[in-house]
Amino acid sequence: MFLGLDSSTQSLSALVIDPARGEIVREVSVNFGAELPAYHSPSGFIPGGKGGEVHADPRMWMEALDLVFAKLTDGFDLSRITAVACSGQQHGSVYFDATLEQRLATLDAGVPVVDQLSPALTRATAPIWMDTSTGAECAEIAAAAGGNAEVCRLSGSIAIERFTGPQIRRFHKLDPASYEKTAVIHLVSSFVGSVLAGKSIAIDHGDGAGMNLLNLQTLDWDDALLDATAPDLRAKLPPAAASATIAGPVSAYFVEKYGLSGNCQVVLSTGDNPSSLVGMGATAPGTIVISLGTSDTFFAAMENAVTDPQGFGHVFGNPAGGFMSLICFRNGSLAREALRDELGLDWSAFDSAGLAGTPAGNDGKRMLPFYGPEITPRRDFDGPVRNFPADASAPVQVRALLEGQFLNMRLHSLWIGEKAELIRLTGGASQSNGIAQLIADVFQAPVERFAIANGAGLGAALRAAHACGHDLAKLQADFCKPAAGSRLEPDASLAAVYDEALADYRAML
């Protein structure tokens, strides 16, 4: 059996697969806001950050790791796990002093992980992907590296506020003494994998490409980008390596405390989106994945690494080899939640009121669906912009928000230059039938969903099995199957409605 962990924005989830039976045999999850209230992070991050700062408490992730294993072992024998792999929300970074390695190597099974590792933190909080505070640092990095076109050519993305390099630069500028004391900088994904392995593990090419530091040709940290970012940075970064690399056996901490086998191997971690590419059976070009987690993302395996001249799109490593494109939207589930709560609805009423009770195209009532700063397009919105009165009925508002979100996604994915032939949906909001049908109609493409909405966790478990010799195509054929009757066809009669809506939306932006 193989274990996949996914440390995303709002939860840490774990999923066990049995390839012999082609079945998911266990799924548990820890919701940070609900189950770790002491961190005062209802949506997985510390609210109220100033100047675009969005950080999370890395101690919360450490505590969640013990909690998720405690849940996993309840009635389940973890000695049957052959290997484990992790994924994590992308771009977030965790900073440690030189005692980290010794602490990881000697974790005491009698003491929680958080008590043993938190004294090594050199930055109390971890910037995460929602952070937009590094505009100045992005401009400085671009200038030092020869311009954004060059940063994009080297790393697959222009300098982007949430990416780890600009975040590291900001830390160096704000607190040079703590930067100096920092010996190791991990991504969220490689940090969780390092705790499991009892040593610092490498950063994979999937998540590493979200740092503005990895050279996509050499697949190593790029000296020009390192120099443009912060001093002595190479020495503070783990090496970059292929996603399918086995890092070594699991730490004795997890053997003694939770009954994992001493032979259980830890495979390198990757980002939650690259992991979902694997878990949604989309590692070969042709299928587009839309993930509706905290962020909305749109991604696909790439035939050739094509960069986005406008700077919205990114190129990351595909964990199965080659590259993937990705576009990220910050106003995803949290914007939908904001309107749902404003209108006092639950998800089922949100679906039926908004989508069943209004016509496609919303009779021309449109919304720029942004409750706060947006990544794509990059702008600091104060709230949604409507071409209709703000006190319109609930159904009109819900449809305007959802149509706005997916028109925005269609508009900003045009640079990829290919019409979507098949879309697979994952993430929490993919459970909504109304949203799934709307996506089929806006993109005029069939939409499929799986029985579980955790494509990243499934991808992590599949990667663990693949790194241990299982054939990836066979694993994907067995596990990446749309749920029976889940395929939704687009309504062809709505093509013109959404072409017109797209033109309106573009004009409003």
Ligand X SMILES: Nc1ncnc2c1ncn2[C@@H]1O[C@H](COP(=O)(O)OP(=O)(O)O)[C@@H](O)[C@H]1O
Question: Under the criterion CB under 6 A, does residue 297 sit at the interface with ligand 5SP?
Answer: yes
Choices 14-22, 204-212, 314-322, 427-435; region in contact with ligand X by CB under 6 A: 427-435
The CA distance from 228 to 241, in Å, is 22
Q: Length of the chain, please?
A: 509
Nearest-Å Rg of the Cα atoms of the chain is 22
Please return the burial class of 438, using the count of CB atoms within 10 Å of its CB with bins 0-12, 13-18 and 19+.
buried
- Judged by DSSP in three states, 401 sits in helix
CB of 237 to ligand 5SP, least distance (A): 19
Residue 388 interacts, among ligand X, ligand 5SP, none and using kind-specific CB cut-offs from 5 to 8 Å, with none
Question: Under the criterion CB under 6 A, does residue 133 sit at the interface with ligand X?
Answer: no
Residue 11 interacts, among ligand X, ligand 5SP, none and using kind-specific CB cut-offs from 5 to 8 Å, with ligand X
Question: Scanning the structure block, which residue is given the tokens 């039938």?
Answer: 433
Choices 20-28, 230-238, 364-372, 429-437; region in contact with ligand X by CB under 6 A: 429-437
Question: Under the criterion CB under 6 A, does residue 122 sit at the interface with ligand 5SP?
Answer: no
Residue 337 interacts, among ligand X, ligand 5SP, none and using kind-specific CB cut-offs from 5 to 8 Å, with ligand X
Q: Figure out which of the listed residues 116, 431, 444, 486 binds ligand X, where binding follows CB under 6 A.
A: 431
> Where are the strands (E) in 348-506, listed by range?
367-368, 373-374, 379-380, 385-386, 422-426, 447-449
Q: Figure out which of the listed residues 112, 241, 305, 347 binds ligand X, where binding follows CB under 6 A.
A: 347
- Judged by DSSP in three states, 426 sits in strand
Q: Which is nearer to ligand X, 92 or 208 (CB)?
A: 92
Footprint (CB under 6 A) of ligand X, residues 185-214: none
Choices 18-26, 168-176, 247-255, 425-433; region in contact with ligand X by CB under 6 A: 425-433
String marking each residue 315-334 x if it binds ligand X according to CB under 6 A: ------------------x-
In Å, what is the CA distance from 46 to each residue of 56, 104, 125, 248, 385? 5, 26, 9, 34, 26
The CA distance from 93 to 104, in Å, is 18
Choices 66-74, 235-243, 292-300, 352-360; region in contact with ligand 5SP by CB under 6 A: 292-300
Question: Under the criterion CB under 6 A, does residue 87 sit at the interface with ligand X?
Answer: no
Peptide bond into 377 cis (omega under 30): yes
Q: Figure out which of the listed residues 26, 59, 91, 257 binds ligand 5SP, where binding follows CB under 6 A.
A: 91
Question: Under the criterion CB under 6 A, does residue 336 sit at the interface with ligand 5SP?
Answer: no
Cβ neighbours, 10 Å, residue 116: 17
Q: Figure out which of the listed residues 161, 272, 374, 403 binds ligand 5SP, where binding follows CB under 6 A.
A: 272
| # residues contacting ligand X (CB under 6 A) | 15
The CA distance from 374 to 105, in Å, is 41
Question: Across the strands, what pairs with 296?
Answer: 292, 329
- Judged by DSSP in three states, 221 sits in strand
Q: Which is nearer to ligand 5SP, 229 or 273 (CB)?
A: 273
Which residue has the closest beta carbon to ligand 5SP? 293
How far is CA 46 from its chain centroid? Answer: 18
Q: Is 322 left (phi over 0), alpha (psi -120 to 50) or beta?
A: left
Q: CA angle, corner 391, sides to 385 and 395, nearest 5? A: 90
Residue 381 interacts, among ligand 5SP, ligand X, none and using kind-specific CB cut-offs from 5 to 8 Å, with none
Contact in structure between 26 and 72 (CB atoms under 8 Å): yes
Question: Under the criterion CB under 6 A, does residue 269 sit at the interface with ligand X?
Answer: no
Positions that interact with ligand X (CB under 6 A):
8-11, 293-294, 333, 336-337, 347, 427-429, 431-432
